[in-house]
Amino acid sequence: MAIGPQDYIDQMLAKKYSSEKVNNTEDMNRLGITKDRYWEIQKDIAEVQRTLLMVSTKMKIGVKKAANPV
């Protein structure tokens, strides 16, 4: 599995957006939260997403086992 632009359009988009900021922590001042609080919130979001992924994976496995009891 290759990572990166595969065709001309992808290459042009990658070139255009390569200098864009993805994680703009300067917005924290506008939001009125501290840097530590910002990263604490990001950590909480990541933990929730990880938990949801684990639960959905276990549910898929459980459905497969229920469909094919051994």
Q: Is 39 part of any domain? A: yes
Q: Hunting for tokens 């276990």 — which residue is that?
A: 58
Q: Is 1 part of any domain? A: no
Query: Tokens representing 62?
Result: 């459980």
Short-list 21, 22, 42, CA closest to 33? 42
Number of domains in the chain: 1
Q: Is 61 part of any domain? A: yes
Q: Is 15 part of any domain? A: no
Short-list 19, 41, 18, CA closest to 28? 41
Q: Is the pLDDT of residue 8 over 60?
A: yes
For residue 33, with 0-12 CB atoms within 10 Å meaning exposed, 13-18 middle and 19 or more buried, which class applies? middle
Query: Tokens representing 46?
Result: 């990541």
Least confident of 6-10, 54-58, 60-64: 60-64
Q: What is the pLDDT of residue 34?
A: 84
Domain housing 65? 27-70
